[in-house]
Amino acid sequence: MGSQIQPEEEDEVSELLAVVLDTSFNSALIKEKNVGQLLDAVVIFSNAHLMNSSKNTLAVVACHPHTAKMIYPVKKDSIQNIRPPDAQMEILAHATQVIRDGIKEVVTSWQGVYSIEPLLTGGMALALCYIAKRMANTVGKLNGRILVLSSSGESAHQYLNFMNVFFAAQRKAIVVDSCVIQNDCGLLQQGADITGGNYLKAPSIAGLLEYLLWVFLPPKSLRAKLVLPKPDVVDYRTACFCHRNLIEVGYVCSVCLSIFCQFAPICSTCQTHFKFIGFKQSMVKKKEQKSLQAPLL
Ligand SMILES: [Zn+2]
Ligand SMILES: [Zn+2]
């Protein structure tokens, strides 16, 4: 047995997990005092990833309405001496403290503004850049993946940014997983489908940690061997460029492929002029005229 396992251990690749955390918690989470439980689950999940292998590394990005900031890892100069509690690994105690301090700093720097969409795409782009930089500077293979944790629901205003991030991630073979809490997000679901990740709406905050450990902790290579929740039908609606509403049917500019929910004579993106000839109405009128003329003949 030992001889069979050995080659796999030698081939063990390092995994870089970037957790993109939406810190503009929705009002229901705050009202039910579940924010602490959510943050605990994120910290424990991050520690579990680091414990999986000594080669594993972690990045955590906090996304607030006004900023997206990398809170872990931080520059060594700013690290204070952290003494781990008994029997806790130093790296885990350090990560826990730095992540907690970082979230506290981001949330308290802009208090009271929860109605604006968080900069999720900014956070994901930051995570992508960090992973790409680490991939370029690492000798050997490094697998990067992103886990987005959000409770804000749809963010149609950032539609184009979402798509840019997803296709960039797909090109670099970076998996984008998403775990949403209470509110579904169709764009994150599309991102998981495009990049080969998992999308899950956590049924309850109480069981969030179990869902994170079950669905999102295993690397992509292991997931095919696990029994995971069946993916839902992907909501592939797109956001119109005029109002940022999610639509199923719309008008597409034949020059720049911008999408609009209503007909506009000038494309607001590329300024192309269109002529609307009223095709259907003219056809209907012709038919009506023919039917009126027929008895006369
Ligand atoms: Zn519109
Ligand atoms: Zn156009």
Q: Which domains does the chain have, with CATH numbers?
A: 12-223 (3.40.50.410), 237-297 (no CATH)
Q: What is the mean pLDDT of residues 41-61?
A: 92
Confidence band for 243, pLDDT divided at 50, 70 and 90: confident
**Distance between Cα 264 and ligand 1 center (Å):** 10
Predicted pLDDT of residue 81: 62
**Distance between Cα 176 and ligand 1 center (Å):** 28
**Lowest model confidence (mean pLDDT) among 11-15, 114-118, 252-256:** 114-118
**Distance between Cα 251 and ligand 1 center (Å):** 10
Ligand nearest, relative to CA of residue 240: 1
* Phi–psi pair at 285, nearest 5 degrees: -60, -45
Helix (H) or strand (E) holding 15: strand 14-22
Closest by CA to 59, choosing from 69, 222, 67, is 69
Ligand nearest, relative to CA of residue 254: 2
**Distance between Cα 225 and ligand 2 center (Å):** 46
**Distance between Cα 258 and ligand 2 center (Å):** 6
Predicted pLDDT of residue 121: 92
- How distant is the alpha carbon of residue 144 from its chain centre? 14
CB distance 130 to 59 below 8 Å:
yes
Instruction: List CB contacts of 17: < 8 A, sequence separation 6 or more.
Output: 46, 49, 56, 57, 58, 59, 145, 146, 147
pLDDT at 155 over 50: yes
Cα-based torsion angle of the residue sequence 4, 5, 10, 15 in order, rounded to the nearest 10 degrees: 140
CB distance 119 to 65 below 8 Å:
yes
Ligand nearest, relative to CA of residue 267: 2
**Distance between Cα 241 and ligand 1 center (Å):** 6
Residue 230 buriedness (CB in 10 A; 0-12 / 13-18 / 19+): exposed
Helix (H) or strand (E) holding 247: strand 246-247
